[in-house]
Amino acid sequence: MTAILEDPGRLVERALGLLSTNGRRLLGIAGSPGAGKSTLAGNLVQRVNSAAGPGTAVVLPMDGFHLANRTLDRLGRRDRKGALDTFDGWGLVAMLRRLRSEIDHDVFGPSFRRSVDEPIAGEIVVPAGTRLVVAEGNYLLVESTPWGRIRSLLDESWFCVSPASTRQSRLVERHIRHGRSVQAAATWAREVDARNAELIETTRSRADVLVSGRVRF
pLDDT at 90 over 80: yes
Look at the alpha carbons of 16, 20, 25, 31 in this order and tell me if their dihedral is positive or negative. negative
Confirm if 181 and 189 have CB atoms less than 8 A apart. no
Mean pLDDT across the chain: 96
Confirm if 203 and 147 have CB atoms less than 8 A apart. no
pLDDT at 25 over 70: yes
Domains contained in the chain, CATH given: 4-164+202-212 (3.40.50.300)
For residue 147, give every residue at least 6 positions away whose Cβ sits within 8 Å of its Cβ, in sequence order, or none: 84, 89, 93, 139, 140, 141
Tell me the residue ranges of DSSP E strands in 54-104: 57-61
d(CA 109, CA 130): 14
For residue 1, give every residue at least 6 positions away whose Cβ sits within 8 Å of its Cβ, in sequence order, or none: none
Mean pLDDT for the stretch of residues 135-148? 98
pLDDT at 2 over 80: no
25-31/132-137 β-pairing: parallel
Place 3 in a pLDDT band, splitting at 50, 70 and 90.
confident
For residue 71, give every residue at least 6 positions away whose Cβ sits within 8 Å of its Cβ, in sequence order, or none: none
Percentage of the chain exceeding pLDDT 90: 94
Burial 5-37 (b: 16+ CB within 10 A, else e): beebeebbebbbebbeeeebbbbbbbbbbbbbb
Angle at 190 between CA 34 and CA 164, to 5 degrees: 45
Place 40 in a pLDDT band, splitting at 50, 70 and 90.
very high
Percentage of the chain exceeding pLDDT 70: 100
pLDDT at 37 over 80: yes
pLDDT tens, position by position, 105-131:
999 999 999 889 999 999 999 999 999
Angle at 37 between CA 24 and CA 189, to 5 degrees: 145
Task: Show the DSSP H helices in 78-149 as ranges.
Answer: 89-101
Closest CA to 39 of 61, 67, 16, 14: 61
Mean pLDDT for the stretch of residues 47-69? 97
For residue 89, give every residue at least 6 positions away whose Cβ sits within 8 Å of its Cβ, in sequence order, or none: 65, 139, 146, 147
Q: How many CB atoms within 10 Å of residue 62?
A: 25
